[in-house]
Structure 1
Amino acid sequence: MNRKKGKSKKTGKKYPLLSFIFKAGVVLFLLGCLFFILVFLGVLGPVPSKTQLHQINNPLASEVYSVDGKILGRYYVENRSYVSFDEISPNVINALVATEDSRFYEHRGIDEIALARVLFKSIILRNDAAGGGSTISQQIAKNLFPRVDYGPLSMPVNKLREAIIAYRLERIYNKQEILALYLNTVPFAENTFGIEVAAERFFSKSPKSLDVHEAAVLVGMLKANNYYNPRTHPERALGRRNVVIDLMVKNNYLNAADAAKYKEKPLGMHYRLISYNQGPAPYFLERLKPELLEWCEDNVNENGQPYNLYTDGLKITTSIDYNLQRYAQQSVKEYMKNLQTVFDNHWKSRDIFREKPEVLKSAIQNLNTSGDSYADELKKYSAKTHASLFTWDGVENMEVSRLDSLKHYLKMLNAGFIAIDPHTSHLKAWVGGIDYRFFKYDHVTAPRQTGSTFKPFVYLAALEEDISADTYFVNQYKVYEEYKDWAPRNSHNEYGGYYSMKGALAKSLNTVSVDVLLEAGIDETIDIARDLGISADLPDYPSLALGVASVSLKEMVEAFAGIVNDGKPVKANYLLQIADKNGKVLETFNYDLPYEPVVSPENCRAVINMMEAVVDGGTGRGIRTVYKIPGDFAGKTGTTQNNSDGWFIGLTPELVTGCWVGADDPRVHFRTTTYGQGAYMALPIVGKFFYKTYHDKKFEHLQYSTFPDPEPELLAMLNEPEYKEVLDIEKHGFDFAGIFGKKENENLKDRPDVKAEEKEKGQLWKKIKGIFSKKDK
């Protein structure tokens, strides 16, 4: 026994290194097991359980869709969307597997061979081209459960944690689900998450439609998303794309001949930025947001919690038509760019702020939050600062003083445009301004003086008060003594002759419109406007006929839509359906439309007939002569005092549109009516919109829709000559004695709208409204 003991000691002394290695190995193994257990149990940081992985709830952007299923924008914390495996092109799947995890279909979340390769090539041989050892499943774990800083232990703890999560994921989800999960969570360039948003942004396509070379660009971006951004670094992106294509050949997803063909293709990027406030309908999304937030508060998800608009991936369908919205936005931008150039040249030789110092002063005072005096506040505006300024040639980054920046924006003209289906009340297009990034104020809902666009309601009120459609009114300058000697003028300062209501509306005569208002009754006219949905304050004064009231573009277009809808009020509706992230419908919105008209359908048709004359030969004739818009079309121009606001309302049987143009401060405007009138400022945008719409095969049928005609007797009255230089009283067969009898003269004597000197000249018959109706039709 002593010999055995001695031999043992001798052996230990003979191989001390082996003994140390063995003991160290046992210790390391035990420490490794302990380390694994600590990570596995979540002692060194939370590791999601199988149950939690079953309920992966990544923040998903809620998406707003047009009625034709196209994306309008998103509300999000992270710009992320979700698509199923079947909605992703095989080209994307093949490129991803070939590039990121070539043995994906062979392992169960951890690729031991890849890890060994990385250990040997990357660490021992220092070969950076060896690639990574993380599987797609491990990358999902990293994306879904971000790494935590544990000091010196950060890398081993996070790597082991990701391996455990990856293994659990592979036991819960099949390979297709893993791939879809990865492609929905991986970050691409420009703060986009997921293949759907990336495909949409860089190629304006759905993930299912991506070709090989396009898929290779997006997958190649994953190596370093901003470095290989195809928009900012096209050459790098092209080189990386070709590397991905080569890897697809290497892993038998593509043959060499096809690969050569795809590598010859250009980058082919079709960039389209759709985010919360930079898509085709940013003002509309801002309008919609409060209603959606209220809906979320009132509805709970499967966990019993109120829905979160920014993280729950709701799918919201609206009535907006994608193409109509696009045409509206294009029309606004195209024309406003040209109009701004005209405006700048118009003021080129004069300083608008020297002539109107109160504009700048009030703007600075409105921005003053310090309480300092205007003089002290003005001094703060002299220092230069770096700023990004909106221009029609793109955003300009420059060193500029705050004062110059303020002047730049005060001189900028803006616009609003809206389109409504008058029969369904569905909103079809909404453009609240020229660029939401710089101009947040929505001009669709902003109240502005309406000018002559209010006149059709005056004429409708007259018809409702039984004033005959073939009544003629004298076009003369007059002073209304009862209203503090107020004297309305026509915009062209031309007077004389007699106009039918149709002719007066076509020429937008202020003098006749005031007479018609007083005949119909101011209160009665206000009631008509109220019944058709105008809620703004309407002054009880004759100038109401000239559009001194401030009304929003939205309310004006809704009221005109009510006229097209045969007198049944129209209130724009736009929210159709809300579904959850999986497409399950949560609520469908049905709107009760009024069945009873608030004004006579016949009289509505008569007013539309009058407004057709506006377009066919009146102030709105540019629709026909310049933009060549065919088919039934009615409209009304509007210009306010000092040319501050330009309006045009354009009506077709199936679509009612409206446009307003002006500066945010009404004191900033054209100096002449030549440029400041609605026919010059606003009509062209409507004209461009319908030109684009009617040249779209989807909508070309709209030009063949027709307005219903009034009844034959009323139509005959409307077809009377719109203008007469003199009236043949005898031809009308009136009883002169009855007309100019004592009683009638006494009544006329007290009327405030007849000048005394005209009474003395014996022209009392010109003031009798309604007596010139033709009796021998």
Structure 2
Amino acid sequence: MSSNSPDDKQDHREKFRRLIASQAETQAEPVNARPEQPTPDAGIRDTPRPAVDSRGMPLPRRVDEIDMNATRVTPAAFDHTSSPTVRHRPSSVVRRPSFNWRKAGGCLLRGLILATFVVVALALILAAIGIYEYFTIAANLPSVEDLRARASQFETTRILDRNGNILYEILDPNAGRRTYISLDKISPYLVAATIATEDKDFYAHPGFDPIAILRALWKNLISGGEEGGGASTITQQLARTLLLSPQERSQRTFLRKTREIILAAEITRQYSKDDILELYLNEIYYGNLAYGIEAAAETYFSKSANQLTLGEAAFLAGLPQAPSVYDIFANPEVTIKRQQQALVLMYQLSQERNCIYVSNNLQPICVDVSAAALAANEIETRAFQPPQANMRFPHWVQYVRAQLEAQFDPQTIYRSGFTVYTTLDPGLQDVAQQLVSDQVAALADRHVTDGALVAIRPSTGEILAMVGSADFYNTAISGQVNMATSPTRQPGSSIKPLTYAAAFEKGWTPATLLWDVPSEFPPSGSPDDPRPPYVPVNYDSRFHGPVLARVALANSYNIPAVKTLQFVGVFGDTGLVAMAKRLGLTSLTRDDYGLSLTLGGGDVSLLEMTGAYAVFANGGRRVPPVTILKIVDHKGKQVYQYQPPSGEQVIRAEHAFLISSILSDNE
């Protein structure tokens, strides 16, 4: 191996210079016109003679140093025995190549073009599919011609008892009211209230609201199908009411909604907004047999529709969504809150749009806070008088109507000519009504003014009798309120059997000994409860010493009942609340119940409590209460048929028998 001593380096440099000079001389020689054949020791005349090493091997060609574009070599390239020249220079920082924005921009542009192409292609495909489906569906739609003639055609729905006796005819010609009036004879307040409540973009959209539809679809998606309603415009409601069959109206399918939207678009194309609004306001149902706004104004306020005030208009505009629920005579608190909601919607729209435009008034309707407050107070302080209708067992009829609306679209119920066979036994109903009246009269000295009664067939869940109050038409006792279904009230000692049933499941028997003696309990049942102790007393203000569980329940002693609840617990899988829920009591939803729950410290409805007792009478099997046996349409086609279920075994049959046996004790 050669070294890199200074002498060697000097020799290399001299040899490198000689090679350069030799190459220069070779390049200066003339070049023959015709090239000669190369020989091992002679180079081609038109090219420099290559240098060779000591063994005769050719060395790399060199070029003149003045050629700035030539490859520069060191002497090591010409002598394989020499070492490369090493020059020591400070190291420089290696820089990464800068980002090529132009190249990246080009890639991004190509990607955007491709994505745009894909989106446009998909849009065209979806549009083609949509157009095809549109014409396919539209080909089978009813005509939107002459909607006014369609609006006057309807069939009366009849509610019957189980024996086929007519209890009530919805839209009875002798009781129902409908008077068609033109839009210019309707109060602008009512028009503004209807638009704010039902369809605030009525004058702008093409019959349907795409944004509202997408919002409803999104709600339906994220709620798993539990939600998603509220996207129907006024025009869609009109199309559904007048152009779809009763069976189709009750369907909640994509096809039905699509047909409804197409019909609404066609109605908008062929009718003016004023025509649509006039038809809607004369067609919609406002409850209490009032069809159309004129009949509603007469029914509720004894005046014409053109005389309605702001408060009255907001009241009426809130009714059509659920007429049997928003019934001022049966559910006054709920109905008044609905009117206040309508006023809030009017105020919000007025603020958003700088007053509400209505086509039948020269000036827009402006609603400020002061006007809304006065309108709310007007309805809240008004004394409404129920219309006198030929209705037998009115509480029952109203309850059946509410059940129908839960199963079908309200417009379908009130227009479709249904015959509804209910579970009510008229003979038992008459007896029940008389019993309630007699008992209220007998207890008048104790300031009892009202009462209710429910009778259920345990094996099928059929409600055979329901008395909601002592007198439906007695406003002094709020007789229109159905005390059998709402509001919920404390059940008193009637909940004690549920407590003992829970104890029997944990090993107690009717022979379990309990001590009816003065006792103190932590209010919640927890030993760590810091509150003052709960000290129950018996209704007779006496203590009865050691008693059997059978005796304690049969005599409704309070102290043993509290001890029983302390044993089973209020909450938990084996507690009283869990037992009540299994028996059908859904109203016990609070999380702060204590030991007083077994003495009636929670609110339930009479119908729920009757259903719970039916479980004891049915061997521990629960069959939910039912009101409707069968529904047929005006053509005799069966729409609904109740099939009694076998029921769910919610408690053991022997425990149900023991409770029933104890409750039958008369001594």
Greater radius of gyration (CA): 2
- Common fold: TM-score over 0.5: no
The two structures have a TM-score, normalised by structure 1, of 0.36
